[in-house]
Structure formats: structure tokens, C-alpha cells
């Protein structure tokens, strides 16, 4: 069996910035593996493309350019808003507006999005709506731990059930 559309793929990986020697971003080694349905749109398309055709036990090492991962950093995704919009009963909650905080927000159409506090002024706040990994080239290395056919209910729901997946 090889990695292809509608297969449940289990991998352990290490993600670093740019190259194998780059700064560590995250690793599943020593923890829970990543489990996903190949082709369900859950993963970066370029990540899946690099795993295509692999079998259980295969190792991988590949880079993904920022443009093919979370996109280039977009200066237009920095938005300045009035500090007053964060007030609750006339007061801004302590610790809310600290640089680096990720704030769950909602736009005028009700869409949920996250904005990181980039700068805090006297009466304005600058929020960064770029993905935290925007502009960063990624480097993945690891191995395919397991592979199986996705069950009909998993395909219907769009995610893996059971171990390493979603529990209903």
C-alpha cells in the first residue's frame, strides 16, 4: 500500500525553519504522531505531494518554500485599530494587549480569525493577521509510521477517527 488519495497516513516528523539545521519549530518524535487523510485538504498541499507514493517505513526529508507553505509575509495584513475596541465596561482587561499575544477576533461578517498583537500605542493597536509561519521556508524530515484505507465515515466527516484522530 502506498500513500495516495483517501489513505490514512501516520507520520512522525521534525519541522525546522529553512533547512535540516534550521531552528526547530516542532517535532512529533517522542509524542503523538501526525495522522491525517491524504487528499482531504487538511495538510499543506506541497507536504502531501512530497509524501505521494511512500510506504510504511519510508523516510522523508524535504523543503517547502514559504510561498508554497503559509505564504509570503504580507505587510497589508498589518492592521491598525482603535485601542478602545478591546474595552470591556470601559476598561481593557489586564494582559490582553501585550505584543505577541494571539487574539481570537471576528470580522464584520462574523468570520473568525486570529490577530497577533504587533504593537501597542496610546490609543491604537497594530494587529498582524499573517499566519505565524508566513514568510518562513519549511523543512520536514521524518518517517511514515503507518498507512491504511480511510473508512467511509472518516471520508464523510473529512477527518480521522480513533487513535491519533477525532473522537466523536
Residue 132, CB half-sphere, CA atoms under 13 Å: how many? 10
For the segment 84-136, what is each residue's pLDDT rounded down to a tens digit?
999 989 899 999 999 999 999 988 898 899 999 999 999 999 999 999 999 99
Residue 28 burial (CB < 10 Å; 0-12/13-18/19+)? middle
Which domains, from first to last, does the chain contain? 7-67+134-157 (3.10.50.40), 75-128 (2.40.10.330)
For the segment 11-47, what is each residue's pLDDT rounded down to a tens digit?
999 999 999 999 999 999 999 999 999 999 999 999 9
Question: What's the mean pLDDT when you consider all of the chain?
Answer: 93
CB–CB of 117/103 below 8 Å?
yes
Residue 46, CB half-sphere, CA atoms under 13 Å: how many? 15
Q: What is the DSSP string of the chain?
A: ----TTEEEEEEEEEEESSTTS-EEEE-TTSPPEEEETTSS-S-HHHHHHHTT--TT-EEEEEE-GGGTT----GGGEEEEEGGGG-BTTBPPTTSS-TT-EEEEE-TTS-EEEEEEEEE-SSEEEEE-S-TTTT--EEEEEEEEEEEEPPHHHHHHTS-BSTTSB--
Amino acid at each position: 500500500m502506498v500513500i495516495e488519495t483517501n489513505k490514512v497516513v501516520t507520520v512522525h516528523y521534525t519541522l525546522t525553519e529553512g533547512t535540516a539545521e534550521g531552528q526547530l519549530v516542532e517535532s512529533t518524535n517522542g509524542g503523538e504522531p501526525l495522522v491525517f487523510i491524504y487528499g482531504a485538504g487538511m495538510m499543506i498541499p506541497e507536504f502531501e505531494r512530497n509524501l505521494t507514493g511512500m510506504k510504511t517505513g519510508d523516510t522523508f526529508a524535504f523543503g517547502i518554500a514559504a510561498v508554497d507553505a503559509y505564504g509570503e509575509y504580507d505587510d497589508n495584513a498589518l492592521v491598525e485599530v482603535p485601542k478602545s475596541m478591546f474595552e470591556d465596561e470601559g476598561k481593557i482587561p489586564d494582559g490582553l494587549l501585550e505584543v505577541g499575544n494571539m487574539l481570537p477576533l471576528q470580522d464584520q461578517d462574523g468570520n473568525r480569525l486570529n490577530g497577533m498583537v504587533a504593537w501597542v500605542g496610546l490609543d491604537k493597536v497594530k494587529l498582524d493577521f499573517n499566519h505565524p509561519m508566513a514568510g518562513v521556508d519549511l523543512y520536514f524530515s521524518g518517517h511514515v509510521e503507518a498507512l491504511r484505507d480511510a473508512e467511509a465515515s472518516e471520508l464523510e466527516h473529512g477527518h480521522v477517527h480513533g487513535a491519533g484522530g477525532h473522537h466523536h
